[in-house]
A and B are shown apart, each in its own frame.
Chain A
């Protein structure tokens, strides 16, 4: 079956530090990959996505590259801000790349950024 494994948290950083949150996956077929973010007291919202191998998703200074050879989709940001404090979820949609499908989520990584 499909699975997503994220690096364990919580992660605590100082403002302007470099961020990496590791994500690896197991899936059949050709999954699409996502990072969702959950700010305190809110639902999840899509941060970025990649639908095929070697694609790079990017948004709000965050980036992740779909690496099929290492089955990874690590999230990075060069300089974090206090406002980036949230829970980050890696997810995959194993839908053969043809249509929308169910998502399988990682367990989430809590990020706290201090001034």
Chain B
């Protein structure tokens, strides 16, 4: 089974802090994604990466950056945390090559971040 591991389940940070959220997958997948999930809004894509050192902006990249130095690791960075970034953050890895059948995502267990 594909495993996607997020380093923390719960985090509390102060406004203005730089925050790192780590995600590691163990199945050699090229594609990785960062989402945030808020009640009533569903999953919103922040950034994604098709391969090492590649990154693309999603729908809501403002206030975030990412790093993909190794294939298995995709990090989300909040440059200066703000209270409106309090949310559940979910990392995902793509399970197969698009166009070749089921290409659904496998998610990590999520990080609930509170910015105070």
Task: Check if A and B associate.
Answer: no
